[in-house]
Structure 1
Amino acid sequence: MSEPIPNLSIIVATDKKHGIGINNQLPWHLPEDLAHFKRSTSGHPILMGRKTFDSIGRPLPKRRNIVITRNQNWQHEGVDAVTSLEDGLALVANQNAFVIGGAEIYQQALAFAQQLIVTEIQQEYECDAFFPKIDPVIWQERSREYFVAESNQLHYAIVTYIRK
């Protein structure tokens, strides 16, 4: 069994059915959540799968971008490529780091994370990728803030969970 890493957080936005995306894209438009993501992760290493990186299209500024890919020859300027989550975690030992997706990487990272920062969008979307169900035996809700997006009146909450 893997040990949780004190400085590892997962950050994710989900719909009411835990959907996180469709066709490698976000199915919603929520600029306020993107701003929250930027504020939360700026200055910290971020770990993501290669498909998530491809959907973003470039390294995110003011963050060390670490991409997890099975392709040992994959590379991109401004990115550290690793072939496993564990290799990526070794690069960020003793740093506050964030796992930013996608579904397969989230599933693997749950065993290591100490904190989940979840934007819960109060609507359902057509999705083909999902975040795992948050197990209340393992995770305790620490805070919940409710918001309504100015741009489209979308209701959402930013919820922080900590490992019990």
Structure 2
Amino acid sequence: ARRLGYKAKQGYVIYRVRVRRGGRKKPVAKGATFGKPTNQGVNQLKYQKSLRNTAEERVGRRCANLRVLNSYWINQDSTYKYYEVILVDPMHKAIRRDARINWIVNPVHKHREMRGLTATGKKSRGLNKGHRYNNTRAGRRHTWKRQNTLSLWRYR
């Protein structure tokens, strides 16, 4: 936990959360998707976000007054995966006065976990640095639009 930013002082909280393992079933009535055969799958679909991501989101919803810093896997069995989520209290004076962590106090960091800004969220968005990651620059949809828009000179 210390490697991920936890400090043993006031203002830091750790929540232990369990998430049910397995894929994500498509929520449709009686399996009727009303579409092309390629999209008719219901059962064996895999969720694009990780279970760790789901764990962070659930804790973030429950503790809306805290900010999610990071999380890590602790255990798993046949049914569940168990994670611990590090949270920070943005109103605590010990946090606000610490120059290392007080960036999280700014309102732009509200619900980072919901917007894919934590470590696991960035991973599922395919973001990283360096060679070969330039295709994910500025986000997946922006990249798709940039690569699929024909741009021509007026006088060519």
TM-score, reference length from structure 1: 0.21
Higher relative contact order (CA 8 A, sep 6+): 1
Larger Rg: 2
**Which one has a larger percent strand, Structure 1 or Structure 2?**
1
**Structure with greater proportional helix content:** 2
